Chains A and B, each alone.
Chain A
Amino acid sequence: MYCEGDSWGCYLPMSLRSMGSDPMERVVKLASESAVVIFSVSSCCMCHAAKRLFCGMGVNPTVYELDQDPRGKEMEMALTTLLGNSQTVPIVFIGGKLIGAMDRVMASHINGSLVPLLKEAGALWL
């Protein structure tokens, strides 16, 4: 069983985990490699807003521009399936954990849950 990020165990079906080149797996792999990961599209302005939000907080996010990745399209589709069709980039992972699209990020920041998550992931120092 492939389980680099334990937190992902509950999200992925067993069958998918065995496939290495699966886009979802790639997403998960990339998401857990950094404290803050943003899956973005380079021309998307909302993604730019998300990047500015984290930078403004002093966090240095890892950004994957899906339009510049050869397998980006598949990954984008996988992400959409994961989140539900209404959600779109930017999609944020903190500490390997899926936070969601922009409105979820905003909500979590306002209700005060974002900063502890960032601290927990080691992205934010006191």
Chain B
Amino acid sequence: MANHRVGETGLTDSGPSSNHHHHHNIPYAVLHGMNVPPSFMHQEGSAFDFGELEEAIVLQGVKIRNDEAKPPLFTAGRPAATLEMFPSWPMRFQQTPRGSSKSGEESTDSGSGVNTISSKTENQVEPESPISKKTSSLDQQQQVEMASDISRTGTSQNQSAAAKTPQEKRRGSTSEKQLDAKTLRRLAQNREAARKSRLRKKAYVQQLESSRIKLTQLEQDLQRARSQGFFLGGCAGTVGTISSGAAIFDMEYSRWLEDDQRHMSELRTGLNAHLSDSDLRIIVDSYISHYDEIFRLKVAAAKADVFHLITGIWTTPAERCFLWMGGFRPSDLIKMLISQLDPLTEQQVMGIYSLQHSSQQAEEALTQGLEQLQQSLTDTIAGGPVIDGMQQMAVALGKLANLEGFVRQADNLRQQTLHQLSRILTVRQAARCFLMIGEYYGRLRALSSLWASRPRDLYDVGA
């Protein structure tokens, strides 16, 4: 007869009252389970709907099985059509779809194309959850599949239910309980999983957005830095940025240091191998040319960025302690060498001491000249009424340009000192001397690295 009236039939014709209560309890429980967590009400549509739909379908399956009915509705997977036939069910499942015809009409038309599940659930869900208005097509697909799966299960079960009514009922009642517990758990897990995946997706999208913003900022900075870099190549650098001239010099200097290592090992092997003087002379001369090269590079560097040389950023901290006018102090070098160059002839000793003396005098002269430059600069910039600021600055700039000349003269002094050393000493002595110089600065550089990585508590003096 009225197959469609399964629900009603089930309600009225269900056997033991326990079942009946069950029927009432289940939806309540489930519904409560769904609705109690307030988060659900605030979630976005899809999983929420899915969870609900799944519950509804499963419950419907349970319902049908218990009622031993064979609703033809499941063939199309539209249990929702029967859902509205349970007026006693609270909340959404009670709602008859507004747009569609009454359940009675639907039931007569069970095979016909009534609303799809998704639309049904939408109709039902709408009044309940203000947020979840629409379901994603993917979830709809899932819902349809899920529904069809359950419907198939439900259908097969229905068919077997017809054969064994009492057993089915009993089985249904027990399995109903189990199913419900399992179902509840599964449904809860699904909801949880869906919620988590939504949160993950949200977080990922946010991360992408922030990365995109960061990327555009970086690109802008790069553009700015590049344009500044070209500008800095020609003019005095701004604070905090390295000029292209300085960068080029740093690169050349590090290459020069590598070459230095090579020359030193050549000197070492040459000395140990007891080469002839003429062979050793070649090695010594090449080492002198090696130093000539760095002085050449420094000329260009002084022109491009004199402050880079003067502040000694291109050297290591320990070397910087001894820095004088953008490099080593020649008299210091000679002082370091004097004791190690033994044995020297008397003439050589005199030559070395006179070299030390003249380099000291030259250093003193340059230092005094630099002091006068500083004084002149101070006089230009400091004090007095600023009659013409730009004029004042222009004069000061002109004076500052003289720094390049001083660094050049200092480098010239260094170069001349090394040349003079090679003139005073014999070839063997010169080879040893240059090896000593290379090793000395190598040790200073090593000292700088060690200092940088020293354990703090060991070397810091306690308060």
Asked if A110 meets B368 with Cβ closer than 8 Å, knowing A45-B373, A45-B402, A102-B409, the reply is: no
Asked if A106 meets B376 with Cβ closer than 8 Å, knowing A50-B365, A53-B361, A56-B361, the reply is: no
Decide if A109 is an interface residue (CB 8 Å cutoff).
yes
Choice from B364, B373, B413 contacting A106 with Cβ under 8 Å: B413
Choice from A46, A56, A107, A114 contacting B364 with Cβ under 8 Å: A56
Least Cβ–Cβ distance between B373 and chain A, in angstroms: 4
**Smallest CB gap from A103: residue in B:** B412
**Smallest CB gap from A108: residue in B:** B416
Decide if B87 is an interface residue (CB 8 Å cutoff).
no
Least Cβ–Cβ distance between A94 and chain B, in angstroms: 15
Of the listed residues B355, B416, B419, the one surrounded by the most CB atoms of chain A closer than 10 A to its CB is B416
Decide if A48 is an interface residue (CB 8 Å cutoff).
yes
Decide if A112 is an interface residue (CB 8 Å cutoff).
yes
The binding surface of chain B is classed by DSSP as helix
* Pair A110/B420 contact, Cβ less than 8 Å: yes
* Pair A107/B416 contact, Cβ less than 8 Å: yes
* Pair A112/B358 contact, Cβ less than 8 Å: yes
- CB neighbours of B369 from chain A (8 A): 45-46, 48-50, 52
Decide if A15 is an interface residue (CB 8 Å cutoff).
no
Asked if A112 meets B366 with Cβ closer than 8 Å, knowing A45-B402, A57-B361, the reply is: no
Least Cβ–Cβ distance between A54 and chain B, in angstroms: 8
- CB neighbours of B372 from chain A (8 A): 45, 48-49
* Pair A111/B419 contact, Cβ less than 8 Å: yes
**Which residues of B (246-267) have their CB < 8 Å from a CB of A?**
none
Q: A20 to B214, alpha carbons, bound, how many Å? A: 76
Decide if A85 is an interface residue (CB 8 Å cutoff).
no
The binding surface of chain A is classed by DSSP as helix
- CB neighbours of A46 from chain B (8 A): 369, 402, 405-406, 409
Q: A50 to B372, alpha carbons, bound, how many Å? A: 12
Decide if B370 is an interface residue (CB 8 Å cutoff).
yes
Decide if A43 is an interface residue (CB 8 Å cutoff).
yes
Asked if A49 meets B361 with Cβ closer than 8 Å, knowing A110-B355, A110-B420, A111-B416, the reply is: no
Q: A48 to B402, alpha carbons, bound, how many Å? A: 12
Interface residues on A, range: 20 to 34
Least Cβ–Cβ distance between B453 and chain A, in angstroms: 39
- CB neighbours of A52 from chain B (8 A): 364-365, 368-369
Q: A45 to B408, alpha carbons, bound, how many Å? A: 14
- CB neighbours of B364 from chain A (8 A): 52-53, 56
- CB neighbours of A103 from chain B (8 A): 408-409, 412
- CB neighbours of B141 from chain A (8 A): none
A 85-126 binary contact with B (CB < 8 Å = 1; else 0): 000000000000000001100110111101100000000000
- CB neighbours of A53 from chain B (8 A): 361-362, 364-365
- CB neighbours of B420 from chain A (8 A): 110-112
The 9 closest A-B pairs by CB, nearest first: A49-B369, A53-B365, A110-B416, A45-B373, A52-B368, A52-B365, A48-B372, A49-B365, A45-B372
